[in-house]
Amino acid sequence: MDPSGESGTAMITFVGTANPGFAPYAMEELRRRIRGTKVSGLAPGETFTFTTGEDDPHEAVKELLRDEPIFLRHMFPIETERQATDSLDSTANELQEYARTLADQVNGRKVAIQVRKEQNSPFPYTSAEGRDCIIPVIQDLGGETVARDADWIISIYATKKLLYMGCSAPRDNLSDWPGGAVRFRKDEGLISRAAFKLLEAERVFNIPLDKFSNALDLGAAPGGWTSVLLERGLKVTAVDTAEMDPSLERHPMLRHMRSNTADVSFPPGSFDLLVCDMSWDPYRTCRLVSNLAPALTAGGSGIITLKLMYRKPFQSIQDLMEDYSEFFDIRKVKQLFHNREEVTMWVKRK
């Protein structure tokens, strides 16, 4: 990923991915962050290419990793691009030829291969078949192919016209999942899909939930987040005007307060974790959460979804961050794969 230019600062072009409909915001964010970056849409609303622009490419990447963009979910550097075709043989040849250029990188290392294609791409293989084309080459080169915990990720992305290929370290991709699409095993007993949001936040923000002991869950019904917290061994106070799933009602570690969040109060320092997924106006939610901030111990964490119900998401997020920062240190704001019209914020009580 180091195409050398005259001054050693040749641009790198990446494939970027955002949640469906949010690519325009991811592109806008990159335009604001990287001087002179050029962005160009691929799959509408979801994937696009962007360049490191006028900035030193390595500095630009470092800066993106240091302070992760909110809407860019995944990126990988394009090292090679080829015409996409529907020919099985020539596609396999292109994939294998590219893989052979990685001899120095992959020898003795663990390598994941992630293949994605757009719906209208002629690329003739499924993701698994595309991987199968590359695996023998990696093994020949002395690499071990793995699904997770790789040293390198080979990314293939096929559009209607082109086949983009690149190899990078997992953390340089922002996510080690293909396109940043974090998948959890579907649990039969799952109370709500919302549970995935909390599981993803735990992983992406690297905040193991089991290190907390006493949680306040605002807007908790039907109880997806609550059930995750209970499974991790926490005591949970769940606040919601709606009913919790019957499977939770008798849980010995759960107290359900069937109330509006505006009407509850707690002694100072009652909780070391506050989570909030209330479906309400984000500014009013911020006021309610801020009123309850003293109930959280100093340094306690908060995981809060910010609903993007207004037309200008950047402005809303910025205003909300400002409002929340009266009582909280904002650690990270990120649109997670499982977020829909919202982003997730991790804060710590000041």
Ligand X SMILES: C[S@@+](CC[C@H](N)C(=O)[O-])C[C@H]1O[C@@H](n2cnc3c(N)ncnc32)[C@H](O)[C@@H]1O
Structure tokens at 131: 């991987």
Q: Which distant-in-sequence residues (6+ apart) come within 8 Å of 340 by Cβ?
A: 19
Q: Which is nearer to ligand X, 177 or 225 (CB)?
A: 225
The active-site residue, picked from 62, 160, 161, 307, is: 307
Query: Vertex 254, ends 248 and 258: CA angle to 5°?
Result: 80
Is 247 a binding residue for ligand X by CB under 6 A? The answer is: no
Query: Vertex 117, ends 112 and 119: CA angle to 5°?
Result: 155
State the nearest-atom distance from the C-beta of 220 to ligand X, in Å. Answer: 6
Q: For the chain, how big is the Rg over CA atoms in Å?
A: 22
Task: State the Cα–Cα distance between residues 146 and 96, nearest whole angstrom.
Answer: 17
Closest Cα to residue 58, out of 34, 80, 85, 74?
A: 34
Is 223 a binding residue for ligand X by CB under 6 A? The answer is: yes
State the nearest-atom distance from the C-beta of 257 to ligand X, in Å. Answer: 9
Cα→Cα distances 147→94, 105, 115, 269, Å: 22, 17, 12, 42
Is 307 considered catalytic here?
Answer: yes
Q: Which is nearer to ligand X, 126 or 259 (CB)?
A: 259
Yes or no: say if 229 and 217 are a contact pair by the CB < 8 Å rule: yes
DSSP-derived 3-state class of residue 230 = helix
In the list 26, 167, 239, 293, the residue contacting ligand X (rule: CB under 6 A) is 239
Is 277 a binding residue for ligand X by CB under 6 A? The answer is: yes
Looking at residues 155 to 194 of the shown chain, list those that interact with ligand X (rule: CB under 6 A).
Answer: 192, 194
Is 40 a binding residue for ligand X by CB under 6 A? The answer is: no
In the list 143, 179, 219, 300, the residue contacting ligand X (rule: CB under 6 A) is 219
Yes or no: say if 15 and 178 are a contact pair by the CB < 8 Å rule: no
Is 195 a binding residue for ligand X by CB under 6 A? The answer is: yes
Task: State the Cα–Cα distance between residues 153 and 300, nearest whole angstrom.
Answer: 35
Is 280 a binding residue for ligand X by CB under 6 A? The answer is: yes
Is 147 a binding residue for ligand X by CB under 6 A? The answer is: no
Q: Which is nearer to ligand X, 99 or 336 (CB)?
A: 336
State the nearest-atom distance from the C-beta of 236 to ligand X, in Å. Answer: 12
Is 266 a binding residue for ligand X by CB under 6 A? The answer is: no
- Candidate segments 10-18, 97-105, 137-145, 256-264, binder of ligand X by CB under 6 A: 256-264
Yes or no: say if 256 and 229 are a contact pair by the CB < 8 Å rule: no
Binding interface with ligand X (CB under 6 A): 192, 194-195, 219-225, 239-242, 260-262, 277-280
- What positions carry a catalytic annotation? 307
